[in-house]
Structures are given as C-alpha cells and as structure tokens.
Structure 1
Amino acid sequence: MAREILTVAEMAASDRAAVLAGTPIPVLMERAGEAVAQAVRARYQRRPVVVWCGPGDNGGDGYVAARHLRRHGWPVVVEAAYPPATDACRWAASRWRGEVKPLSQRLAAEALYIDAMFGAGLSRPLEGEVAELARTAVRQALTIVAVDTPSGVHGDTGRSLDGVALAAELTITFHRRKPAHVLIEGRKACGDILVSDIGLSTVASAALFENDPSLWRERYPWPAIDAHKHSRGRLSVVSGDAWNTGAARLAARGGLRIGAGAVTLLSPPSALSVNASHLEAVMLASFESDADLAARAEKADAVIIGPAAGVGDATARNLRALTQTGAALVADADALTSFRDDPGELFACLDRDDVLTPHPGEFERIFPGLLGRSPERITAAREAASAAGAVILLKGADTVIAAPDGRAAVGLNGTPWLATAGSGDVLAGFIGGLLAQGMGSFEAACAGAWIHAECGALHGPGLIAEDLPGLAPAILARLHQER
C-alpha cells in the first residue's frame, strides 16, 4: 500500500479522528512517548539523558519518553522550556516522578538530548532561551533525538523558522512522514527518520506520497509470456547535431534497458555517421525537417526530445511536430529551454500523457519565479503541472513528481552519486521506455525516478552516466522477485 505524506493539518485530522473513534489523546501520547524511548534504547548505549520538554503535546511525548527510559534504568533529567499548557501535556507531566529543571544552556557532549519542545505544528520562530539553546547546540557536536521534527523546523516546508532551529541525529515521527521529513532542508535537519505506528487511520483525501514501489508496482509493465519487441513498446529519441549526440544515445540506451522493445534514434543527417558508429541494438533513422521527424516518429508509442537537442527554434518546431503524432512525450533539457521566451506556447501543445523533466534552472526558465514564490518544491511542482497540463518531474535530492490532477510524490532514495553529467539523460530514457510500454505518465515518472536512484546507490562512488543503463537489470530483477 502506498504510504501517504501528511501535512500538519492532515496529521491533526488523523489525531482527531482517532479521538472521535474512542482513543483518548493521553493514550496516543503514551504510545508516542514509549516509541521514542524504544527507539533511543535500540540505537544508543545507556548514557545520561536530558529531555527538553515544551508546553504542548510534543512536550507531553517527552515526559512520557523520560518516564519509560527511567523505568529501564537510564539516568534521565527533564528540563522544561515552558510549563505544560495543554491537558494532555499536564497529564504526562503529572506522571513524571523525577525533578523538572529549568532549561539549561550548559550542554554536555556525553549526554543524549531529546528535543520535545516544539513539533511540526510550530508556526512562529523560536524565541528567548529556546532560540539561544538552538544556536548554542548547532555549534556543538551533540547527540540530539527529535520528537516529530527538530524544534524550529516547519512541518510543511522543512525550513527553519527565521533561520533558527535545532538539528537532530535521529527524528522519531508518528503514523506518516510530513513534508519536512522528505524535503531536503528538513531531511538534513532531521537526520535519520523513524516512523512509528501509534494506531492512527489513513486520511482518505491525501494526495502526496512517498515515491517507492508500493505507489506504482501494480502498474509496472512486465512483459506477457507471448511478448515480442513491438508489443513491448516503440520508443524514439531525438538526437542533436554531429557534435552533440551522446546525450540522446544515453537516453536511448536507458529506454532499451528499462524494457522498451524497439528503440530508434532519430538523427539529423549530419550526425548519422557518428551515431551509427556507436549504436548496436538501438536503431537509427534520419530526419531533415520537423515534418520529416513527425513522420519518422508516427508509429512510436513514446518520444524523448531535449537531451543535447540544441536550444532554439528548430528544437521548438520539432517538439511541436512531435506533439501531433499521438506519442507520449518526454521533454527534457534543451526542449524546455527552447520555450523560455514563451512557455505558454509549450504548454498549449502538451497533454496529460506528456512528462517534463526540468532541473531547478530549467524549471525557472519555463515557470519563472514559481519556485521562489512557493512555500516549498511540492507546491511549486503541483502548480507547474496544473499550468502545463502535463506531469512535472522536478529533479533534485528530493525529486518531486506532480500530476495535473494534484497527485504528487517525493523521492526518498536520492543519492549524490547521480550528480554527474548525463545522469538526467538516462532518467529521461527510463521514463520514456516505461511510457512506451504503456505505463501511465505519473507512474512512469515515479518508477523511472526510483529505479534511477536505486541504480546510483547500487554503484556508489565513481558512477558515470554510462554505468546507469547497465545497472538497471539488477534493480528490475529485484522488483520482479518482489511482485
């Protein structure tokens, strides 16, 4: 089952639904605090623990965690940033039999600190001694475990409020991740993230998901027993000129490795000999004009245009011609930048089967100012998908895939080894190859991005883009076994 990512408001709704169904808040708090204590005991050797407790339910979780750790023999001190201010927090504090001290700015490197001051719902910057504590803690190598999110990190954006926030080595959250746990700024502040089940129900209206196989596995296009190359999908890739051919070949090879049955590189005449000298299973065809290109791609199920295609009117004309073929389109790199002066012209000829795969710079060219205006990347990608009427894959360490209908997914398996030239061309090939096999555009973009990241992680240091297609079979074999 696909795992939802819940906003702060959606998580609050899950809590309320549990209460209405007969589970009191103190019961949920007891489960949450015990989960924190169990996570600490599982990960760390026994040592002095300082629990920083806030005034709300996050603080209540801290009091419960302190009680459970002490019950297992851990030396625990509670320091209260503020007196308990909610009924549930007062209940939890009343069951803590140890001393409650004021918040101290004297920090010990050998201690373990549990940050239960403010969770994901905090909407204002840290103030006073809490802000000073955060500034002091950032300068020291402390072991900090956060409850829900590190104090000062906004649950819906992952950004620090007014630039002041704690950073944790481990964060324990409950039921589902929030955007702060998947967007890169929040992930860096949270450290390792553990999601604990405390008995809440799913929010039916959720439309944001973790991008892992549970989201798209059932729609993956495994070949039937009587499959042949044409039934497995026909993919075409548009090549650049004689001096810019490698990117398209990387995309073509990626499409072939991901399972497309017949892949054709569509090449301008000047690049035919260069491409021919490098191709084996990928077929080659020539085109001389945009009309000729469309005719060559007429039988394709999917077409990739953009990798080193060249920025300018010729690429724009080629893309417009391809949109008339009925093939699903993957528009990447130069195909996007060619419309920077009139993005609306691009959007007018796209449909919901098409996928745009910009990195942040390309995104800015066709959606100027949107990333800066949006509270975070998820909102930006969703607005872009709505404006373009196509699926948007916004690349990054926290790759976001958004569909025009509002569905979105965030990748959790990104790896820095993919930060190498040509990596995005192979990603376009993976997506195009899945589209050619009939996978839905949103699911194809999600699957392609996940497989791409797994390939990068599998290789690790020293990865170059040419390695990626050859790594795909191992990932596909694993997926096939897990069906």
Structure 2
Amino acid sequence: MHKEIDTLIITPAEMGRIDRMAAASGLSSYGLMERAGQAVAAAALRRFPGALRFAVLCGPGNNGGDGFVAARALRAAGAVIAVHVLGDIATLKGDAAAAFLHFTGTVAPLADYEPQPGDVVVDALFGAGLARDLPADVIRLIEAVRRNALPVLAVDLPSGVDGRTGQVRGAAFEAEATVTFMCRKPGHLLLPGRTLAGEMEVFDIGIPGRILAGHAGHMRVNMPAIWRLASPAQTGATHKYVRGHLAVFSGPATATGAARLSAMAGLRAGAGLVTILSPGDALSANAAHLTGIMLKPLDDDDDLKSLLEDERLKTFVLGPGFGGADKARGYVRRLAEGGRRLVLDADGISAFRDDPSALFELFAEGGPRLVLTPHDGEFARLFPDLAGDKTLSKIERAQKAAARSNAVMILKGADTVIAAPDGRVLVNENAPPWLATAGSGDVLAGIVGAHLTQGLPAFEAAASAVWRHGQAGRIAGEGLTAEDLPGAIPPWPTA
C-alpha cells in the first residue's frame, strides 16, 4: 500500500531540520545513527557475501558516524574490516564522536588506504549535505578505487554528489548501491547523481511520518498514487465529446510526421476525437496517413478564429514540426485570448525566444492552462537566466520557470521534472534510456493534450502523461522508434 513518505523527496536542508525536530521531540539522535549504521552493515553483508574485506571510509561528520556504527556491526558479524578516517579524530563532535567511541577498533588515516583485490568500499565520507568540491586527497582516493574496479556501497549518497542538485563536486564514487534514510534526496533522482548512486535502498530509521510531512516541501517522485484520483470517470453516459476533442497543428507538407505522432498519441491516450489542423499544402500528405484522426484545413488566423467558434474544441497542441515562428505566435495569441488550453512544444516554444515575456503575459491570468515541454536547449530560449545559473538544480530551474510563466513545466530528460506555478514539483524515474529517440517528445505532447482535453488539471495532466510515456517506452522495449510508442501507451492505472 502506498504511504506518502514513499514518494517524498527531501532536500538536505529540509532533512537537517527534520533531524533537529526529531531530536527535539524526544528521539535519541544517536539512536537514529545506530539504526542507520546497522542498516548499512546489513546491506553490505547481504549484497557482498563474497567480500574479503570491507574498507569503511569515514568522514568528519555524521556520515562518518554512520560508518563507525556500520564498521562495528560488520566486525561483530565476523567480517574483516579496515577503517580509514578523513581528518583528525579529535575533531569529531556529537553523535559522530559517540559512534567512534563505541567502535573501539583500530582506525587509520584515509591517506593510508590501499585498495586490495576483494575489497568492498563502504563510502561514509560525505553524505547528501555536501555543497563544496571534494578535497584533492579524496579525489585521488576515488580515482584509485575506480582504477581497481572495486564495488562501492554508499552511505546516504556517493561522496562527491551534491544532494541538492545531483551534480558532481570535483569527482564522485560510482556506487553499486546506496543506502539512504527515510526519504530520497534530489541528488538520488537528478542526473548524474541517479546513475552514480546505483541501486537505491531507503531505510526507515524511525523518524515519525508526521515530522517528515510537517517539514518537507512539495517535492515528490512522480507515480500514479499522486494523480490517479484525478483521472476522468468513465461511465455509461460517456461519449466522444465528454472525452474531449484535441486539435494538433501540423507543419508544412515536408514536416507533417511530428504532428501525426502527437495526434495518434492523443487518440491512444484517451481523447474522444483528434483533429489535425493542416495547412492547405500539407493536406494530401496528412490525408494519405490518417484514418481514425480527422483532418481540417487551416492556413491563417482567420481560419483559426472561425474554428474557435466551436466551444467543444478546448485543447490544442502546437509545436511538433510546426515551422513558422510568426504564424505560431499569432495562433498562440488567438488561443490564449479564446481561453483555450495549450500544450506548447518544440517550434512553438522556440517561436518566443526573442520575447518570452510576450508568451507569459498571454497566460498570466487564472489557473494554469499552458503546458510547456522543453528540453534543456528549448528551456534556455525562454529562460536564459535560469538556464545559465549553475547554482540552481534542475528542480529549482523548473520551479522558477513555472512560477514566472504561470505554466506547468515539463523539463524533459532522463530525469524529467514536472513543476507547477504554485511550487509543487515531481521528478520522474520510470523512463528507460531508449526512450531518447527522435519523435519521442512529439508523442509526449500528444499524451499531455489528451489528458487536458479529458478535463484533468494541468499539473496532473502533465505528470500522468510523463509517467504513461515512460511506461510506453518500457513496454515498446529497447530499439523502439517513436512510431512504436502510441500503440504501447498503457491503460490508465487503477491501483
């Protein structure tokens, strides 16, 4: 059964507050460390039964304290250990100092560690709170471990990965697995941290859920439990217009395929009707490939104005293979003034690169009805200052962009981030690497459009579309092309 804490993403700063509140509530902070270290030792013994020696590398803070507890538990289990410490033992404080005193074993300086065949490295140097580059001696050690191809079990997060951003601070261990506590951090989900963390284990060390929820922000892992209840109800009275009419703008005759991918994805994802709005010179190209999707000529703003007289046509996708920037801006303006919902992708996003504020002003009023689906390059065209700010994480860039544009932001990638103007944010993790193929984004835009036209709020429409898109990639399998994806879109999850 789903528990809310299973989806929580906690920043290092939030985790620090949670730890302090747990201690203030009467929980023993050293008791929490003891449970954390014991969990690390159990994971090490379970995952690496053939280890000849566990090299436990302890840092100067609480992550190192977890390492001392783990070393004591490993030794008690009969394992051979070697404990190496970064810095002066005399400077250890608080729970980390207590963990060292309880260890009572031999320790050596970190610089004395020499990798040996059969070693398993338990990395307890720096946890998720790292916010500076690693010192040179730690970088040299990481390089030595990598040269010797030793497996690494990371405590909390591989040392060198910034827990807030997922970025590497000089160098980082590449862990076979990571044991973290209570909830995942952004660095576990954002690239390259996700890759470097390896297989994740999240261990409950006993902090009450009420404390977690009370001091966490609005970050979650994207999963059906968050948005399933927003799904449109299907009853005996449901008909095609109840399920919504989605319209997708086509590009010129030489660039029609992207719009058809979006349209087919929209139909497969649940839209009751889908129409491609095609320039006259592209009608023949589109008609030759369409069956269940309708086709309507549309060449200029007057044609669109006439089309919008049909109040049932509420949701549009503009951008895939569209081309002309001037026409795109005019169409977007007409849709915004008409109160329509819009998924703006690809060429539609790039059309506003010279004046992004013109786009944001069109959708500034009311709840979000614009969904933007940029990859990093397109994001930089609308938000050059945010893209250029290297202090921001991908999550923070998406949040700030959503607030500025009053749009739901799908910042694409293997670690896609979905952000709402009110600060809610989800990080997606179900997309397989082979989903990165030409036309994949066109399919995603169509799924978002289908969800919007069925009446889902923009944030839930975007989040559920990203998840179904990822699942479609898994179902279609390695070697897929974009044409395979619409037929692989899974049913709406029911449990």
Scaled by the length of structure 1, the TM-score of the pair is 0.95
Shift of residue 128, structure 1, vs aligned partner: 4.9
Of 50, 55, 67, 2:55 maps to 50
**Partner of residue 15, structure 1:** 19
Of 321, 325, 328, 1:315 maps to 328
Q: Which amino acid aligns with 1:173?
A: T
Query: Contact conserved, 1:264 with 1:285, CA < 8 A, in 2?
Result: yes
**Partner of residue 390, structure 1:** 407
Q: Distance in 1 between matches of 2:119 and 2:144?
A: 15
Answer yes or no: is 1:414 the counterpart of 2:431.
Answer: yes
- Per the alignment, do residues 452 and 109 of structure 1 end up closer, same or farther by CA in structure 2, a change over 3 Å counting? farther
**Partner of residue 107, structure 1:** 115
**Partner of residue 203, structure 1:** 213
Query: Contact conserved, 2:84 with 2:113, CA < 8 A, in 1?
Result: no
Gaps of 5+ in 1: none
Query: Contact conserved, 1:109 with 1:143, CA < 8 A, in 2?
Result: no
Query: Contact conserved, 1:311 with 1:337, CA < 8 A, in 2?
Result: no
Scaled by the length of structure 2, the TM-score of the pair is 0.93
**Partner of residue 478, structure 2:** 461
Shift of residue 46, structure 1, vs aligned partner: 3.6
Provide Cα deviations, 1:141-172, integer angstroms capped at 9, x if missing partner. 110111011122211111222x1332211111
Query: Contact conserved, 2:246 with 2:450, CA < 8 A, in 1?
Result: yes
Q: Secondary structure at the match of 1:301?
A: strand
Of 356, 362, 370, 1:354 maps to 370
**Partner of residue 59, structure 1:** 64
Q: Secondary structure at the match of 2:469?
A: helix
Q: Which amino acid aligns with 1:346?
A: L
**Partner of residue 315, structure 2:** 302
Q: Distance in 1 between matches of 2:478 and 2:139?
A: 39
**Partner of residue 193, structure 1:** 200
Q: Distance in 1 between matches of 2:148 and 2:235?
A: 58
Query: Contact conserved, 1:10 with 1:203, CA < 8 A, in 2?
Result: no
Q: Which amino acid aligns with 2:394?
A: R
Provide Cα deviations, 1:352-405, integer angstroms capped at 9, x if missing partner. 111010111111111124222142211111111112111111111111111111
CA RMSD of aligned residues (A): 1.6
Shift of residue 183, structure 1, vs aligned partner: 0.7
Answer yes or no: is 1:338 the counterpart of 2:351.
Answer: yes
Shift of residue 419, structure 1, vs aligned partner: 1.4
Deviates more, 1:34-43 or 1:328-337: 34-43
Q: Which amino acid aligns with 2:449?
A: G
Q: Secondary structure at the match of 1:302?
A: strand
Of 62, 67, 74, 1:69 maps to 74
Q: Distance in 2 between matches of 1:445 and 1:384?
A: 15
Deviates more, 1:198-207 or 1:55-64: 198-207
Of 360, 380, 384, 1:368 maps to 384
Deviates more, 1:250-259 or 1:372-381: 372-381
Gaps of 5+ in 2: none
- Per the alignment, do residues 217 and 41 of structure 1 end up closer, same or farther by CA in structure 2, a change over 3 Å counting? farther
Q: Distance in 1 between matches of 2:428 and 2:126?
A: 26
Q: Secondary structure at the match of 1:153?
A: coil
**Partner of residue 154, structure 1:** 162
Q: Secondary structure at the match of 2:363?
A: coil
Answer yes or no: is 1:287 the counterpart of 2:298.
Answer: yes
Query: Contact conserved, 2:167 with 2:191, CA < 8 A, in 1?
Result: no
Q: Which amino acid aligns with 2:80?
A: P
Q: Secondary structure at the match of 1:203?
A: helix
**Partner of residue 423, structure 1:** 440
Q: Distance in 2 between matches of 1:439 and 1:75?
A: 57
Deviates more, 1:366-375 or 1:258-267: 366-375
Q: Structure 2 matches for 1:218-257, cutoff 5 A? A: 218-257=229-268
Q: Which amino acid aligns with 2:213?
A: V
Shift of residue 50, structure 1, vs aligned partner: 1.0
Shift of residue 222, structure 1, vs aligned partner: 4.2
Q: Distance in 2 between matches of 1:50 and 1:392?
A: 44
**Partner of residue 184, structure 1:** 191
Q: Which amino acid aligns with 1:364?
A: A
Q: Distance in 1 between matches of 2:434 and 2:325?
A: 31
Shift of residue 115, structure 1, vs aligned partner: 0.5
Q: Distance in 2 between matches of 1:272 and 1:296?
A: 17
Query: Contact conserved, 2:350 with 2:381, CA < 8 A, in 1?
Result: yes
Shift of residue 126, structure 1, vs aligned partner: 2.2
Q: Distance in 2 between matches of 1:109 and 1:397?
A: 34
Q: Secondary structure at the match of 2:126?
A: coil
Query: Contact conserved, 2:269 with 2:450, CA < 8 A, in 1?
Result: yes
Of 266, 274, 277, 2:277 maps to 266
Shift of residue 425, structure 1, vs aligned partner: 0.4
Shift of residue 290, structure 1, vs aligned partner: 1.5
Provide Cα deviations, 1:29-71, integer angstroms capped at 9, x if missing partner. 0111111122222322242111111121111111111222222
Answer yes or no: is 1:36 the counterpart of 2:40.
Answer: yes
**Partner of residue 126, structure 1:** 134
Query: Contact conserved, 1:260 with 1:434, CA < 8 A, in 2?
Result: yes
Deviates more, 1:222-231 or 1:448-457: 222-231
Shift of residue 15, structure 1, vs aligned partner: 1.0
Identity %: 46
Q: Which amino acid aligns with 1:62?
A: G
Q: Distance in 1 between matches of 2:476 and 2:113?
A: 44
Deviates more, 1:343-352 or 1:229-238: 343-352
**Partner of residue 124, structure 2:** 116
Provide Cα deviations, 1:222-271, integer angstroms capped at 9, x if missing partner. 42342111111111111111111111111011111111111111111211
Q: Which amino acid aligns with 2:140?
A: E
Of 5, 10, 20, 1:6 maps to 10
Residue correspondences, number: 477
Q: Distance in 2 between matches of 1:138 and 1:456?
A: 32
Q: Which amino acid aligns with 1:8?
A: P
Q: Which amino acid aligns with 2:162?
A: H
